[in-house]
Amino acid sequence: MIRDQETLNILLDTISRFVRERLVPQEAHVAETDQIPPELVAEMKELGLFGLSIPEEFGGMGLTMEEEVLATFEIGQTSPCFRSLFATNNGIGGQGIVIDGTPEQKRDYLPRLASGEIIGSFALTEPDAGSDAGSLRTSARRDGDHYVLNGTKRYITNAPEAGIFTVMARTNPDAKGPHGISAFIVEKGTPGLSLGNIDKKMGQKGAHTCDVIFEDCRVPASNLIGGKEEVGFKTAMKVLDKGRINIAAICVGVAERMLADALRYAMERKQFGKPIAEFQLIQAMLADSKAEIYAARTMVVDAARKRDDGRDVGTEAACAKLFASEMCCRVADRAVQIFGGAGYLSEYGIERFYRDVRLFRIFEGTSQIQQLVIARNMIRAAGE
């Protein structure tokens, strides 16, 4: 749903210009240093990027899902590490509070998330609980006015920079699977909370992950999201449905950037006396990429509109995430092939994108998990 097309166009133009003029020139520097320059972070805050989807009453822009994915398409025209820094505030790091938080929790945390004063992080995955999130072992035991958390979370995006963590922990040890899981807001600096070393990753340098460790970490009972126990898994699934649409959108944006780079190179690079873009086998790779990007973009917008209409989009979100992430990796592979030997060199940047986008098929639900979600939803619907 687009509320005001003119206002949205201004926002999209502003983001596009920021990406083109400020972020793209810094891609190689960030990849080399594994750090996003502080001045760029300050500009992201000034533009309101940390609060794109946080309600206006709490200082955000309150974008609808459709408006947000259109903005994400523009943000995707550069290294995905930039988006990663502010996307958790708009997505998995903040949406648990937006969707299910108490009025007090919303009032206390959402304005700071919207401004970028604090970074939100989503702590679900554990050493032995990733795709099988229902098997998580992190525990939360009630002790007076507090809960005592113990456990370790792994591969947690933005954990090194986070000011708050949305933590999934088991409050009912007797409940099996996803039952008995509750969601908590844990602030940075809480005694008993510590971080592991920053992970050395295959790609997405500048976007940091690490272990988050809880050792008798005392969290106020008022920080139980929604004020209710044993509904944390449902909160996580609501958050992930939205997150999966956003991941699909960033896949589209990055794929569009890679295809534009590949097309430009193909038109400039000459072999046998003419640009390689004139060779039919190169044209086939360009055409296949264009068609798949168009299909993915259409899926993302459709899923976003359905979510704005208040519909259950679990299946559509999984379909979009599955198709778009797999598509993005195919486009990356074709782009490297079109670049040829140059595509294997770091100076051209396409090899960096090739490594960066591989993550899209893994986080917020692997492609295989999306297949299971889609099939199970189909079977359930057929039996109703």
Give me the active site residues, please. Answer: 364
Answer for the pair 332, 284: CB distance below 8 angstroms, yes or no. no
Of 32, 95, 108, 43, nearest in space to 68 by CA? 95
- Ramachandran bin of 366, using left for φ above 0, alpha for ψ from -120 to 50, beta for the remaining angles: beta
- State the CB neighbour count (10 A cutoff) for residue 117: 14
* Residue 359: φ, ψ to 5°: -65, -30
- The strand pairing partners of 193, in sequence order, are 214
Token digits of residue 65: 């899902």
- Please state, in angstroms and rounded to a whole number, the distance separating the CA atoms of residues 14 and 10: 6
- Please state, in angstroms and rounded to a whole number, the distance separating the CA atoms of residues 124 and 142: 20
Is beta strand 146-157 parallel, antiparallel or unpaired with respect to 209-220? antiparallel
* Residue 273: φ, ψ to 5°: 85, 5
* Rg (alpha carbons) of the chain, rounded to whole number: 21
Answer for the pair 360, 250: CB distance below 8 angstroms, yes or no. yes
Of 143, 121, 21, nearest in space to 74 by CA? 21
Q: What is the torsional sign of CA 315, 246, 365, 261?
A: positive
Answer for the pair 51, 113: CB distance below 8 angstroms, yes or no. yes
Q: Tell me which residue has tokens 């259409």.
A: 298
Token digits of residue 146: 């507090």
Token digits of residue 379: 């079977």
